[in-house]
Amino acid sequence: MHPPIFVRKPSAEERARLEAGLRASDAFTVRRAQIVLLSAEGRRPREIARGLRCAVQTVRNGISAFNANGVASLMAASSRPKSAAPVLGEVERERLRAILHQPPRAFGHARSTWTLALLAEVAQAEGLSASVLSIETIRQALLRLEVGWKRAKRWLTSPDPAYAQKNAAATG
């Protein structure tokens, strides 16, 4: 069984912000303010949890967060994993860039432009991953390469034999 945990004594300014938090439009802020104020009154986490109809661990988390961060703990932190590693490493991303520099026709597709889904399919076929990647994974990889996925169209070539000459005239 966990020993009882209590919040540190809030300052007058913190108490005013906590009481204002009781009227917030965000449910997370209201709940955290309730937890901290009830703990400041000397109530135990189990009693607070029973009264607010939440888990005891939720109360403990709120108390610990306030003790560590003060009133900043009234705002919900990001739920994004902090250890999320990119699916494609640096080597695979550079291979993806090399694929983008070629038209889809070079990989047996009857298209002249890339789509994220097609790029994911070709990346899997070229051995960049064991399974077909999601289009979001491809988009994130392109962002890491500092390449917007729509910019890939500029790198495509046409099967027209005079394409280079026409392109030079249009851009020059």
> pLDDT tens digits for 124-160?
999 988 888 898 888 888 888 888 666 544 555 677 8
Distance CA 69, CA 105 (A): 56
Which of 157, 143, 100, 153 has its CA nearest to residue 123?
100
Backbone angle region of 139, left / alpha / beta, with phi > 0 → left and psi within -120 to 50 → alpha: alpha
Q: How far apart are CA 122 and CA 171, in angstroms?
A: 30
* pLDDT (tens place) for every residue of the chain, 172 residues total: 667 889 999 999 999 999 999 999 999 999 999 999 999 999 999 999 999 999 999 999 999 999 999 999 999 888 777 766 778 888 998 999 999 889 999 999 988 888 889 999 999 999 988 888 898 888 888 888 888 666 544 555 677 888 878 877 877 6
